Amino acid sequence: MRNTRDTKLLFELSESGRRSHRLPACDVPERAVMELLPAGALASAPPALSELSEPQVVRHFSNLSQLNMSVDTNFYPLGSCTMKYNPKRNERVASMPGFADLHPYQPEESLQGMLQLLYELQEYLKEISGLDACSLQPAAGAHGELTALWVASAYFRDQAVVTGGSPVTVKAGEPPAATSKRTKVLVPDSAHGTNPASATMAGFETVTVKTLPSGTLDMDDFHRLLDDQIAVFMITNPNTVGIFEPKMREIADAVHKAGGLVYLDGANMNAILGIARPGDFGADMQHYNPHKTFSGPHGGGGPGAGPICVTEELAPYLPTPVVVREEGSGFRVQGSDSDLETDSSLNPEPRTLNPTHFRLDYNRPKSIGRVRAFFGNVGVLVRAYCYIRTHGPDGLRRVSENAVLNANYLLSRVKHFLPVPQGDRCMHEFVASAAKLKSDKGISAMDIAKRLLDFGFHAPTVYFPLTVKESIMVEPTETESKETLDAFAETLFRITEEDARSLRDAPHTTPISRPDEVRAARQPILAWSEA
């Protein structure tokens, strides 16, 4: 049934002279391009793009789409990625012209609804994190980490001045260069790779702290490595094996006592919404992944967004601009038919002086500046806002409760045949190990992952975290049923009983069998070319 003709590459389908999109005739007096632009700047011909008809384009991409697994079509327990259901209502709302068709440089008085939404989202994120200030600018979780590290760096540079010590000047040609005596970032060995990578980009040296086989921090190693050169301790809590750090208070107190800051990697916020707040358990900064926690569609690799929340002390250093609300300094809204109250009642109060308005604050002298162009990944933020408004306080808590329930249920069903080194309980995800299965029967985590695809399940994350051998990281999320979890556990069990040799050839029923990744890297073909 599979249509292989139409999944040829665009360039193989191309026929000279085919057209899809047609443009209107030019309705202003037209002049020769050569008269308008210098000859040296002009191309001799337009770029060699493919030439296709519209039905061909539709069929091509529709057929390609069917080669993917997705949340809409499959259980997708990809650990650490929170592949939950993406509400369709949010898509319809986000595509309203009043949100989708706004230019980033429109005057603020023409954007009061958008600015209100963004302001309110800042407030919600602060409340959910238990922190004091928010920037919505970063474009993804990793970008949020980087932004927070720049904030920390600016803070320590400032501190060095305030306390009378002269800040160490940045020496050209010696990256990573220090900006104060605090030159290091502490990262557990179980952390996401983005943490150390962000530390390097922000000019810090990464120091790795060990974790114990149980998945929690090795406190001896932590205390040994913590000194007055540590700027930031980046911790993921619940951590990447799905355990809430039992010594979180001790960790945060120790970092603070040493003069450092605690950064919370918010990748796992889906476990603690309304249950515990990073600001309450010692974090000074955190990012959110709204595309995970607040259900933004992952789009085949993105977009995400990476808003960060920080303490009052760090607020002056956040990127510029932030949205502020101004009371009582109303102005006339031109052409608006709606009121500007934060409680958006439907009663129009047109063309009156309004008591409240929202504006972008650029006057932030201590800010690190910009981390990208324009305001942020607003489309993702609009969906996050919808998600939070749909759930309310009770609903968000129930999201986390059910995410944790589903993960623990699956853990309970799986642990009998696939050991879970961290123990009997978890938060929103758990990490099983195929190490024993591999030594006993020759079945690897990769074999299990590939075979699951044959049964219509997307594979869990495998070989991460690096601290667990043959790791299989499972995050079911709250938007899955007991029946699905049962079916998944039964399939997993069945796979562990299969013959190892045949598993090495899995998957058998997918559009392709296992690809030769070594060849792809050794003889890179990164674009199509004729013959």
Partner 1 sequence: MPYLYNTPEDQQAMLAVIGAGSMEDLFAMVPAEMRLQRPLAIPPAMSEMELTQHMAALAAKNEHVGSKVCFLGGGSYDHFIPAVVDEIAGRGEFYTSYTPYQPEVSQGNLQVVFEYQTLITRLTGLDVSNASLYDGGSATAEAVLMAVSSTRRYGKAVVSASLHPEYRQTIATYLANLGVEVVTVGTRGGVTRPQDLAAAIDGTTACVVVQQPNFFGCVEDAASLATIAHDAGALVVAAFDPISLGLLKRPGDWGADIAVAEGHTLGTPMQYGGPYLGIMACREKLVRRMPGRIAGQTVDRRGKRCFVLTLQTREQHIRREKATSNVCTNQGLFALRATIYLALLGPQGLRETANLCLQKSRYTAEQICKHDRFELAFDAPTFKEFVIRDRKDRVDELLSNALAAGFLAGVPLGKWYPELGDCFLIAVTEKRTSREIDALIETLSRHN
Give residues 80-119 in contact with partner 1 (rule: CB under 8 A).
Answer: 81, 83-87, 89, 91-93, 95-107, 109-114, 116-117
Q: How far is the CB of 30 from partner 1 (least distance, A)?
A: 5
Using rule CB under 8 A, residue 2 touches partner 1: no
Residue 185: phi and psi, rounded to 5, are -120, 130
| CA-based radius of gyration for the chain | 26
Q: Which of 229, 268, 377, 444 binds partner 1 (CB under 8 A)?
A: 377
Q: Among 158-166, 218-226, 258-266, 392-400, which window interacts with partner 1 (CB under 8 A)? A: 392-400
Q: How far is the CB of 223 from partner 1 (least distance, A)?
A: 19
d(CA 246, CA 174): 39
Could you give the C-alpha distances from 462 to 81, 360, 472, in angstroms and in order?
12, 43, 5
Nearer to partner 1, 164 or 524 (CB): 524
Q: How far is the CB of 433 from partner 1 (least distance, A)?
A: 19
Q: How far is the CB of 328 from partner 1 (least distance, A)?
A: 19
d(CA 101, CA 395): 31
Using rule CB under 8 A, residue 379 touches partner 1: yes
Sign of the torsion formed by the C-alpha atoms of 265, 391, 375 and 380: positive
Using rule CB under 8 A, residue 21 touches partner 1: yes
d(CA 500, CA 497): 9
Q: How far is the CB of 128 from partner 1 (least distance, A)?
A: 6
Q: How far is the CB of 58 from partner 1 (least distance, A)?
A: 6
Q: Which of residues 411-430 bind partner 1 (CB under 8 A)?
A: 411-413, 424-425, 427
Using rule CB under 8 A, residue 64 touches partner 1: yes
**Residue closest to 226 by CA, chosen among 204, 247, 208:** 208
Q: Which of residues 212-271 bind partner 1 (CB under 8 A)?
A: 243-244, 246, 248-249
| Mask for 305-324, x = binds partner 1 (CB under 8 A) | x-------------x-----
CB 179 within 8 A of CB 229: no
**Residue closest to 511 by CA, chosen among 65, 78, 12:** 65
Q: Which of 374, 416, 490, 502 binds partner 1 (CB under 8 A)?
A: 374
Q: By three-state DSSP, how is residue 323 classified? A: strand
Nearer to partner 1, 253 or 439 (CB): 253
Q: Among 14-22, 258-266, 467-475, 493-501, which window interacts with partner 1 (CB under 8 A)? A: 14-22
Q: By three-state DSSP, how is residue 324 classified? A: strand
Helix (H) or strand (E) holding 359: strand 356-361
Nearer to partner 1, 16 or 163 (CB): 16
Q: How far is the CB of 309 from partner 1 (least distance, A)?
A: 14
**Residue closest to 202 by CA, chosen among 171, 175, 181:** 175
Q: How far is the CB of 228 from partner 1 (least distance, A)?
A: 19
Q: How far is the CB of 108 from partner 1 (least distance, A)?
A: 11
Burial class from Cβ neighbours inside 10 Å (0-12, 13-18, 19+) for residue 148 reads buried
Q: Among 3-11, 308-316, 429-437, 492-500, which window interacts with partner 1 (CB under 8 A)? A: 3-11
Q: Which of residues 471-530 bind partner 1 (CB under 8 A)?
A: 478-482, 505, 507, 510-517, 519-521, 524-528
Q: Which of 155, 222, 233, 464 binds partner 1 (CB under 8 A)?
A: 464
Nearer to partner 1, 145 or 226 (CB): 145
Beta strands of 112-266 (E only): which ranges? 133-135, 184-188, 205-209, 230-236, 261-265
Sheet-wide strand order for 461-462: 430-433, 471-474, 461-462
Q: By three-state DSSP, how is residue 320 classified? A: coil
Using rule CB under 8 A, residue 34 touches partner 1: no
Helix (H) or strand (E) holding 309: strand 308-310
Residue 360: phi and psi, rounded to 5, are -90, 130
Nearer to partner 1, 86 or 496 (CB): 86
**In residues, how long is the chain?**
531
Using rule CB under 8 A, residue 54 touches partner 1: yes
Nearer to partner 1, 439 or 519 (CB): 519
Could you give the C-alpha distances from 472 to 57, 217, 293, 421, 475, in angstroms and in order?
38, 20, 21, 11, 10
Q: Which of 275, 313, 331, 416 binds partner 1 (CB under 8 A)?
A: 275
Q: How far is the CB of 276 from partner 1 (least distance, A)?
A: 5
Nearer to partner 1, 393 or 439 (CB): 393
Q: By three-state DSSP, how is residue 233 classified? A: strand
Q: Among 123-131, 158-166, 307-315, 432-440, which window interacts with partner 1 (CB under 8 A)? A: 123-131
Q: How far is the CB of 497 from partner 1 (least distance, A)?
A: 21
Amino acid at site 368: I
Q: Which of residues 146-185 bind partner 1 (CB under 8 A)?
A: 146, 150, 153, 170-177, 179
Using rule CB under 8 A, residue 1 touches partner 1: no
d(CA 338, CA 344): 9
**Residue closest to 225 by CA, chosen among 180, 189, 179:** 189
d(CA 63, CA 70): 14
Q: By three-state DSSP, how is residue 492 classified? A: helix
Helix (H) or strand (E) holding 193: none
Applying CB under 8 A, the site for partner 1 has a residue count of 222
CB 151 within 8 A of CB 367: no
Q: Which of residues 179-218 bind partner 1 (CB under 8 A)?
A: 179, 192-194, 196-204, 206
DSSP 208: E
Nearer to partner 1, 1 or 105 (CB): 105
